[in-house]
Copies of this chain bind each other. A is one copy, B any other.
Amino acid sequence: MIQVGLLFSGGKDSALAAILLEPVEAVTLVTGTFGITEDWRVAKAAADSLGLPFERLELDRSVAESAAEQILADGYPRVGIQLVHEHALERAAEAEFDAIADGTRRDDRTPTVDRSLARSLEDRHGVEYIAPLRGLGRRTVDRLVGEHLEVVTGPSESIERADYEGELRALLGPEATDSLFPAHEQSRVVGRADS
């Protein structure tokens, strides 16, 4: 087994990625933070509920500022969120892990890691990049989440998570963000289904 740092938001996708990896790798859940909010504590609590080790990953505040500007200019969050995810992967790849991983799925649009980005991360940092959900469709992911995880779900503004949205919202201020981040169904993991 090698040491895998898996980017973790506290949500169901990154938690399921951990469930699928843990039989074959030593998984540490890793949550990026710009130091803007304490949202990372939500991910730590979710990691504790799964019984998996947790590490906080310091991200560069200037990337949050660039992403916020991008989102304001675009009027939607997709490109800015992708910027932040790529930065978090770079930071995780620079850390002490043999491999990095995330919860990106086959049917996701954002964030996404295509083959050329995956190979670039691997070649530049001498790590493996593993995307356990990349070959799974939405129905498979939802079924496996139901079989393995206890989650709370609800509209995005009511579910505390440690995805990048919370810190970017805090940076942008409350007046700008409701139109920029449309409400969507969100999830937070509170344990294993069989625990």
Contact = CB atoms under 8 A, between A and B. Distances in A.
A131 B135 contact: yes
Q: Can you tell how many copies of this chain the complex includes?
A: 2
Interface stretch (A70-78, A89-97, A141-149): A141-149
Contacts of A136: 130-131
A173 interface: no
A20 interface: yes
Main secondary structure of the interface of A (DSSP, over half): mixed
- Chain A residues touching B, range: 20 to 34
A148 B23 CA distance: 11
B139 A130 contact: no
Contacts of A139: 122, 128
Contacts of A19: 24
A89 B39 CA distance: 44
A144 B23 CA distance: 12
Interface in A15-38: 19-20, 23-24
A108 to B, nearest CB: 10
Nearest to A102: B135
A115 B106 contact: yes
Interface of A: 1-2, 19-20, 23-24, 99, 104, 106-107, 115, 118-119, 122, 128-137, 139-140, 143-144, 147-148
Given A99-B140, A131-B134, 7 more contacts: A1-B147, A24-B144, A106-B118, A106-B131, A122-B137, A122-B139, A131-B135
